[in-house]
Amino acid sequence: MLTRGLRRATAALAAVSLLVTATPAPVAAQAAGGMPVIRDAEIEGLLRDYMAPIFRASGVGEGVVEITIINSREFNAFVADGRRIFVNAGTLMDSKTPNEVIGVLAHETGHIAGGHLARMRQQLDNMQTMAIVAMLLGVGAMGAAAASNSRGGGDAAMGALVGPQQMIQRTLLAYQRTQEEAADRAAVSYLNKTGQSAKGMLTTFKRFADQVAFSRRFIDPYAQTHPMPQDRIENLEQLAEKSPYFNKLDPPALQARHDMMRAKLFGFIDTPEAVGRRYPPSDQSLPARYARAIATYRSSPLPGAIAQIDALIAAQPNNPYFYELKGQAYLENGRPKDAAGPLRRALALAPNASLIRTMLGQALNSGGDSRDALAELRRATAVDTKNADGYRQLAQAYARQNKILEADLASAQAAFAAGDFGTARQLAERAKRGFKQGTPNWLKADDIAGYTPPKQN
């Protein structure tokens, strides 16, 4: 049994995060565990490239940790288990260099490699025992005060109940601050091992130090989950500036991809007016043209958007994401048959992009070609089992083929991928009754029907 005060503390400490932070999604979005998630082939591929060396240096290994993008404009990143890093879209949009993003995610990798979440859960278990003892002692003191009918004794008893809870909460917060410091040190070590600078981390922390500077005199340093910003910067500077890579810049090609990623996010998430202010027509750089083309297709007649996208394709004819954008523009404007061609070209240039394959399956579905849609969507979901949109489209394709059991199973997989375990269980049970026991589809349905979500601390 946890007291209310400790419950608030444990809720605050349930996820280990980089920073406590003071619209429509770019492409495919889904709700996972109640969080609005952005899925995008171009951005996910870039983040994998950013982090592959860091994962190797940390020992967690490539392919073990997933990076999930949250559709939030705030600057934040966090880990909630030992295999997923969550990063807000705002972090990617506000970071001007790849190095800033890599530093943020390296810090979160430090939490995973250090087993901080498992240790935090153990610490919470220990604190729970302390809370129970403190509560019993406080209740006993209050009972003695009531028996003596002493007002002063009652006040003292209330102090006996509240005081230990405050001590427990501060102990937890102090423990988390040590984990944050350890993750900072680990991040710098990973950057050194991979020949990268920690200057981006410093840039990020200095930004937040400036934001809280005006309120420092109101902040209790012992009631924070993270070290005070200025202390953190001083510690990090000592580590980072010793590195021979401190002044090393990101490779130009990586910076170019980063600029395109930011432009894409601004184009989809900001209003067209805001995009126009950030990327005025006088700016003829490729990222600016990318952002304006996205904003145009979202807000203006389709021909103008297609003309801008075609100009992007002419500039980079082997960029799969320009063809993807063209296909998406046609698809979302009710022209699925026109979308199929550009999406096939995008997939030819990026054959492993399951999200592009999913969009092609959607275009084929909407265009009445459910047979080819089934083939594409089966392939897309086979390699990306968290692709809720892919499973939804697969369910539609099966339904059009009058394969109702398979449609129910795909719908169950879509709900499961989106974190709606109750709906997933109901649909899986229904599908399971129709499949022959022991067949692959029966086993898939049985796995979903029997799944129990892990308890949250």
Of 206, 197, 154, 121, residue with least CA distance to 455 = 121
Residue 5 gets the label, from left (phi > 0), alpha (psi -120 to 50) or beta, of alpha
Angle made by CA atoms 105, 389, 49, in degrees to the nearest 5: 25
Res 116: pLDDT: 52
**Partners of 362 in the β-ladder:** none
Q: What is the pLDDT of residue 30?
A: 44
Low-confidence ranges of the chain (pLDDT < 70): 1-34, 115-177, 208-231, 455-457
Find residue 302's DSSP bridge partners: none
The tens digit of pLDDT for each residue in 84-133 reads 899 999 999 999 999 999 999 999 999 888 765 555 555 455 555 445 44
Q: In the prediction, which pLDDT does 264 show?
A: 98
| In the chain, where the domains are located | 1-269, 282-449
Of 3.40.50.300, 3.40.50.970, 2.60.40.1180, 1.25.40.10, which CATH number belongs to 282-449? 1.25.40.10
Distances (CA, A) of 326 to 319, 335, 342, 363, 406: 12, 11, 6, 12, 31
Report pLDDT for 166: 58
Token code pair at residue 173: 């917060």
Measured distance CA(106)–CA(95) in Å, rounded? 14
Q: The pTM is what? A: 0.79
